[in-house]
Amino acid sequence: MAWNDDKKNPWGGNGQTPPELDEVIRDFKDKFSGIFGGKPRSNSNSEKSITPSAGGAKYIFIIGLLLWLASGVYIIDPAEKGVVSRFGAFQEETGQGPHWHFPYPIESLSRVNVEEIQDMQIGYRDAVRNRRGGNVSSESLMLTKGENMINAKFAVQYRINDAQAYLFNVANPKMTLRQVVESAIRQVVGKNSMDYVLTEGRVAIADSIKEKSQELLDVYQVGLRITTVNMQDAQPPEPVQAAFSDAVKAREDKQRLINEAQTYANDILPKSRGKAARILEESKAYKSKVVSKSEGEASRFKQILAEYTKAPKVTKERLYRETMENVLANTSKVLVDSKANSMMYLPIDKLLNNNAQPNKIVVQDSQSDQVRQGNSIRNVFRNREVR
């Protein structure tokens, strides 16, 4: 049979045997040693073998291995997270402090700052970041509930809260964030009227945009956390911008007047209440004073009545004299009895000081005038008693 013929057998070696494994390894070691200065072994049949010098290669290999392993040492800062990937796949996440990983190309390290607050501008760009700056109409123009167009600008602040998701779940997390926020802005603005968006609804709209954007980011597992969303500006279209500015100014004036009225009310009401309380207290004090005085007068009158009942003439004379003392205590007239034979002292200094309104001093030496005045005073007192 043809296959039994060694000359026609495709796997036949024509009588040759394959080299042994030990011999192959020996040849490889000879070639490797020759690279680092060693001499290859000679054929055992021709000459005596010479042992190559492999010490230098071994030391170089060990030093290189140590340096390679040492390159895997790294330190993570407090604000960072370290993400180690092995052959491109996530391996582990490390925190603050020193760590080690298998060096490149087996493993690689990515540092992610999870505390830094980053910002994103939608509808405009700052001149600091963009040489042109200004508005970005493709982002800022949007429709409201009544199909009115407005030009709105927003500022978004965010940070990385999941380093693994940020690096491995989405190809471009920042672009995803921009698209998500733009979608939420158009959704929220489209559900509200133009007046509400341009005036008192800015804070509520910004909060709603933040909430909806974060919900979408959590669904996509982007690894980002939105901290704040602010509506920087919102303007109506150019043809009606002046009318809307007047409307906004009118609302601001209305609110200002309300605040001023409230301030005035807060100031005047406590004062009025205090004044009313003071008047009430004064009226109560006056009431007590009048009642006490009336009771005192009534008690005095009863006492006088009791004395008058006992001695009418003496009581009348005493009352007359007391009344005269009270009436004539402040008068500018002096009554002198000519029969008293006494020297009269006149206060000249006081008379000189009162030249503007001089007091008239009348000396009456007729006893008839004194009697007439006494009779008139008695008549007054009698009229009071009759009352």
Split into its structural domains, the chain has a count of: 5
Residues facing 94 on adjacent strands: 82
What amino acid is encoded at 339 in this protein? K
Write down the pLDDT at residue 366. Answer: 43
Q: Is residue 199 part of a domain?
A: yes
Tokens, residue 79:
């604000």
Write down the pLDDT at residue 185. Answer: 93
155 with 214, same domain: the answer is: yes
Residue for token digits 């205590």? 329
Q: Are 155 and 232 in contact (CB under 8 A)?
A: yes
Q: Is residue 141 part of a domain?
A: yes
Write down the pLDDT at residue 17. Answer: 47
Residue from 124, 126, 128, 94 nearest 111 by CA:
94
Looking only at the bridges linking them, the beta strands covering 134-135 and 97-100 are: unpaired
213 with 159, same domain: the answer is: yes
What is the Cα–Cα distance from 51 to 39, expressed in whole angstroms?
7
Residues 6+ apart with CB under 8 A from 3: 9
What is the Cα–Cα distance from 380 to 316, expressed in whole angstroms?
12
Q: Is residue 270 part of a domain?
A: yes
376 with 348, same domain: the answer is: yes
Q: Are 381 and 308 in contact (CB under 8 A)?
A: no
Residue 58's Cβ-side half-sphere holds a number of Cα atoms within 13 Å equal to: 6
What amino acid is encoded at 358 in this protein? P
230 with 333, same domain: the answer is: no
Q: Is residue 16 part of a domain?
A: no
Q: Is residue 12 part of a domain?
A: no
pLDDT tens digit sequence for 221-274: 999 999 999 998 888 877 777 877 787 788 889 989 999 999 999 999 999 999
152 with 168, same domain: the answer is: yes
CA-CA-CA-CA dihedral for 377, 380, 381, 386, to nearest 10: 160
Q: Domain range spanning residue 175?
A: 118-236
Residues 6+ apart with CB under 8 A from 193: 144, 145, 146
Write down the pLDDT at residue 10. Answer: 45
223 with 299, same domain: the answer is: no
329 with 381, same domain: the answer is: yes
31 with 61, same domain: the answer is: yes
Q: What does the pLDDT profile of the chain (387 residues) look like in tens digits?
A: 444 444 444 444 454 444 554 565 556 555 544 544 445 554 444 444 444 455 678 888 888 888 888 888 888 888 888 888 888 888 788 888 888 888 888 888 888 888 889 999 998 888 666 556 677 878 888 888 888 888 889 999 999 998 888 888 888 999 999 999 999 999 999 999 888 888 788 999 999 999 999 999 999 999 999 999 999 888 887 777 787 778 778 888 998 999 999 999 999 999 999 999 999 999 999 999 999 989 988 888 888 888 888 888 888 888 888 888 887 777 766 666 666 666 666 666 666 666 545 444 444 444 455 445 555 555 544 554 444
User: 304: exposed, middle or buried (C-beta count within 10 Å: 0-12, 13-18, 19+)?
Assistant: middle
